Amino acid sequence: MLVREMVAATAVSIVAGSLGAFAGVLPFAIVKTGSPLPAAAPLPYVVPVIVGIAVTLGVSSLVGRRVIRTALAG
């Protein structure tokens, strides 16, 4: 249950962050290069998304497991 909630929160964060980042970078790319293509470079986008997913799911799973184990023991 906890992991499903974190996946949903991560997905919403990725969509909102992507829209915000693209809206901020697109005008700058057009002014500097005359083209919107530099704003859509895949590698600078994908790397932070993968790191964010790994950190979010890893930390929440470990902490959630520890909290549940402690609650069951106490």
Ranges under pLDDT 70 in the chain: 74
According to the model, what pLDDT value does residue 51 have?
A: 95
According to the model, what pLDDT value does residue 74 have?
A: 67
Question: What is the DSSP secondary structure assignment for residue 38, as one 8-state letter?
Answer: G
Alpha-carbon distances, residue 56 vs 31, 35, 42, 47, 69 (angstroms): 35, 34, 21, 14, 20
According to the model, what pLDDT value does residue 4 have?
A: 87
3-state secondary structure of 41: coil
Degrees (nearest 5) of the Cα angle 66, 48, 18?
Answer: 110
